[in-house]
Amino acid sequence: MDKRTIGSLEVSVVGLGCNNFGSRLDQKATTKVVRAALEAGINFFDTADVYGATKSEVLLGKALGKRRRDVVIATKFGMPIDETHFGAKPSYVRAACEDSLRRLGTDHIDLYQLHYPDEKVPIGDTLGALQGLIAEGKVREIGCSNMSARQLIDAKSAAGTRSPFVSVQNQYSLLAREPESDGVLKACAELHLGFLPFYPLANGLLTGKVRPGEPIPKGTRLANMPSDRSAHWLSEVLQSRVATLLAYAEQIQVPLLTLAYSWLLSHPEVSSVIAGASTPEQIQSNAAAPISLDDSVIAKLNELTA
């Protein structure tokens, strides 16, 4: 599988988002998915301390076992685990890192990411704690998520001559193109940041399995999602765009899943597409999805989803 870089890290262009681990998947199912990913050439696993109520990291660590040395693990901190475990104060950064190391069963985290900006803590203070973890060998690279272009620029300035963020993880897909208009992709190019899109398949809408006007397939994330959350994804606007994309995919005889992955990877700022998966079969489909798209196809996709 092709690889791209995030700082000093080399990651597969198809990664695995691990938010299903510990929630929809138990240890046995997690291990099957992880092994399928490794067999498919995927070496990038993205999790977070809050995923699966802290179980995702545990299940991922056990599933990797001795293969830990062969992969790049990304995890996150900062989102509320409970009433006392959250934020980006230096003391919490260090404590959260130790907790993640313990749960993952490893002595270092390859990419440690601030999950959400903490407006109560100066970014320079958070960066100082993260840079200290790098100096101690507990973290190799640091990244962030849910940050604006201005916040990325400010963080770069605050880092000074020490290790800066090397990546940002924001929502981006054919159905959510805000990083183009809000300046984040431009900031990534200027600051040499790798971009990691979350919800790259729009919670399953871009897999080709969800057909507008038809029942949602059982067992999918959308089918299990609370109605207050699924309402957005099943809105008339998004359903209409999915229908248009499906028609175009059928016209050019390229699966919508392939278009979704390949369009994202046509952007040089994107380092890896980290969709989740709940079965080995989904892993195989995701791993085989990326192709090189003609400029005319990219232009048409841009037009259809503008």
Q: Burial code of 213-239, b = ≥16 C-beta within 10 A, e = fewer?
A: eeebeeeebbeebeeeebeebbeeebb
- Pairing relation of β-strands 9-12 and 16-17? unpaired
Q: Which of 51, 112, 116, 172 is catalytic?
A: 51
Closest to 101 in 3D by CA, of 67, 131, 77:
77
- Pairing relation of β-strands 139-145 and 16-17? unpaired
Contacts of 259 (CB under 8 A, 6+ apart): 174, 206, 245, 248, 249, 293, 297, 301
Between CA 51 and CA 113 the distance in angstroms is 14
Does residue 92 have an active-site annotation? Answer: no
The rounded radius of gyration (Å) of the Cα atoms in the chain is: 19
Residues marked as catalytic:
51
